[in-house]
Amino acid sequence: MKIKALRSSFLEGVQIANRAISQRSLLPILSGILIESDKNMNLCATDLETTVFTKVDSKVERKGKTVIPSRLILDILRNLPEATVEIELIPDESRVTIKCEKSTFNLNALPAKDFPTPPSILEKNKCSLSFNSFKEAINSVIKAASTDET
């Protein structure tokens, strides 16, 4: 896998996916983000109750997929300059190299096959709401939502 993307686009995608990751996860694979490259970079994160998918505009030079630690990639991307970031999965599939200008990072990766299979979204189960309708619905039930994760 080899992908190039703008730092800001990649960071935004990781921040979106990171919302599904629980800080209390006992399974290391659930503290990571699944990165898949096909036509674009696709990111997926889950806590087994909530799953977030997002796409990042990118140039895919070689297809592949892996899981990298969310917190680590977030910290790296926040501190990089605004430039093109190159993400490459080393062929043995246990390391990812991230390059941006003069910086190079080598991260341990987890096998994508260990990541929980995300639920498929069927076209017949989709619906569309205006933002205002959705906001009104959430505001009407937010008072009843628990703030405790347990």
Q: Give the per-residue pLDDT at 93.
A: 64
Per-domain residue ranges of the chain: 2-117
Q: Give the per-residue pLDDT at 120.
A: 72
CATH architecture of the domain 2-117 equals Roll (3.10)
Q: Give the per-residue pLDDT at 34.
A: 96
Tens-level pLDDT at each residue, the chain (150 residues): 999 999 999 999 999 999 999 878 788 899 999 999 988 999 999 998 889 999 999 999 999 999 999 999 999 999 999 999 999 998 776 899 999 999 999 999 999 999 998 777 666 777 788 989 989 999 999 888 877 765
> What is the 3-state secondary structure of the chain?
CEEEEEHHHHHHHHHHHHCCCCCCCCCHHHHEEEEEECCCEEEEEECCCCEEEEEECCEEEECEEEEEEHHHHHHHHHHCCCCEEEEEECCCCCEEEEEECCEEEEEECECHHHCCCCCCCCHHHCCCCCHHHHHHHHHHHHHHCCCCCC
